Amino acid sequence: MQHLNNIKLRLVEKAEINALHDISRTTFLNAFADKNDPDHMAHFLSENLTVESLTLEMENPETQFYFAETDEALLGYMKLNTGKAQTETHLDNAMEIERIYLWSHWQGKQVGQWMLAQVLEKARAAHFDWVWLGVWEKNTEAIRFYNKNGFVEFGRHVFMLGKDEQIDLLLKFKL
């Protein structure tokens, strides 16, 4: 296993859109395909995780994509939103973690914990008051992870997976 001190976080460059597309689709499928209708998954992927949609997201100055990697491997990625790029505006002076995913073989090896620590560090350095995210109410493992890290529920919203209305818990962390 790689030591956590060998991991680095860096901004995804526009020229890496195909790598971002690949990891976005594959990690989303790995996380949710076995718990959802294949038609809803296919619809979501075709609307939300395409090269075109990811390119548009990357062009927003209030959105940043990061790769977590070692010299040898790409481990995961995340998408952070600020300002009007956030999917909800319940909190003032906040940063949203819209996506944070790892290749499945890196899960359970403290990489997600390391990535979350990097987000909190970035948010503090930028003088935000809050970090928040939405997590599917049926993703009990993720909810437990965020609760363990001090995130508390402050609301709910509907997440459309294709034509399936799902409920996300909104979790926040006070910096």
Show me where the domains of the chain are located.
4-174
Walking along the chain (175 residues) 10 residues at a time, the average pLDDT comes out as 78 98 97 96 96 98 98 96 95 98 92 97 98 98 97 97 96 99
CATH number of the 4-174 domain: 3.40.630.30
pLDDT at position 3 is 63
pLDDT at position 153 is 98
pLDDT at position 5 is 73
Q: Is 146 known to be catalytic? A: yes
Catalytic residue among 66, 77, 101, 146: 146
pTM of the model: 0.94
SS3 assignment for the chain = CCCHHHCEEEECCHHHHHHHHHHHHHHHHHHHHHHCCHHHHHHHHHHHCCHHHHHHHHHCCCEEEEEEECCCCEEEEEEEEEHHHCCCCCCCCEEEEEEEEECHHHCCCCHHHHHHHHHHHHHHHCCCCEEEEEEECCCHHHHHHHHHCCCEEEEEEEEEECCEEEEEEEEEEEC
pLDDT at position 1 is 45
